[in-house]
Amino acid sequence: SQKYTAIGMLGKATDTLDATGKVTEEKPYDQVTKGDLENVLQKFTGDIMQVPPLYSALKKDGERLSTLMKRGEAVEAKPARPVRVYSLSLQQFQPPLFTLDVECGGGFYVRSLVNDIGKELSTCATVQELTRTKQGPFTLEEHALHEDKWTIDEIARSLEHCTALLPGEPSRKKLKTEHPGETAVICE
C-alpha cells in the first residue's frame, strides 16, 4: 500500500487536476461544511471505481498520456477501473482548503479522488499539494534520509537498513559506464 497527505482546494478545477494546470472551472463552495466533506469521504473508501486523469503516466500506443496532452493531441479518457482505498480521513478543513490522509493500493490517483470529491460536493476541487508518506514498507518519517545526513557513511547505513525490509535477494543489473572496461552494478 501507499499513503499520501493531500491538500485540496474547493472551488477550482484544472486540466491536470492539480495546481500546475490551467483553471478550467470555478464554482462556489460556501455551502460545503466539514460534516459534508467527512460524509462524502465514506463514498470513496474500500473498493471503488476510478477514472485516471488524462495527465498521467498511463500509455496509449507506447506514449504517456501526459506527453500526448502536452503536445495538444486529442486523448480519450481511460475507462473507470477498480482501485482500493484502505483508509481516508479529513485532517483539516479551512475553506477553501482541506487536508486528507489517504492509504490506497497501486494504480490509485489522489488527483482523481480530490476531483471526484469536489463533484460529489456540487462544486469542484483540485490538489494543491501532495506528499507520499509511505510506499510499501518504507515511510517518509522512518526511512527518508534528511539532507544534513547526506554523507557516504549515512547513505550506506540507510541502504543497509532499507534492504533488510525487502523480501528475498535483490536482483542485480550491470550498467554501462562512461569509461570502457568499467562496469557498475545496481541492486533493485
Say which residue, 34 or 107, is predicted with more confidence: 34
pLDDT for 102 beyond 60:
yes
98 Cβ contact partners less than 8 Å away, ≥ 6 residues apart: 7, 8, 10, 37, 90, 92
Quick one: average pLDDT of 13-34? 95
pLDDT at 185: 47
Domain boundaries, the chain: 2-138
Cα→Cα distances 185→16, 113, 152, 154, 176, Å: 37, 39, 17, 20, 9
Coil, strand, or helix at residue 28?
coil
Quote the percentage of the chain above a pLDDT of 90.
53
pLDDT at 26: 98
pLDDT at 53: 80
pLDDT for 73 beyond 80:
no
pLDDT for 147 beyond 50:
yes
Q: What is the pLDDT of residues 76-92, one digit of tens each?
A: 766 789 999 999 999 99
Q: Contact 43/121 with Cβ under 8 angstroms?
A: no
How is domain 2-138 classified at the architecture level of CATH? 2-Layer Sandwich (3.30)
Strands (DSSP E) contained in 28-158 are 46-50, 59-60, 63-64, 81-94, 97-104, 125-135, 138-139
> 110-128 burial, b if ≥16 CB within 10 A, otherwise e?
bbbbbbbbbebbebbbbbb
**Sequential DSSP letters for 77-93:** PPPPEEEEEEEEEEEEE
**Model confidence, pTM:** 0.74
Q: Can you read off the three cell numbers belonging to residue 126?
A: 483540485
- Report which secondary-structure segment, H or E, holds 5: strand 2-10
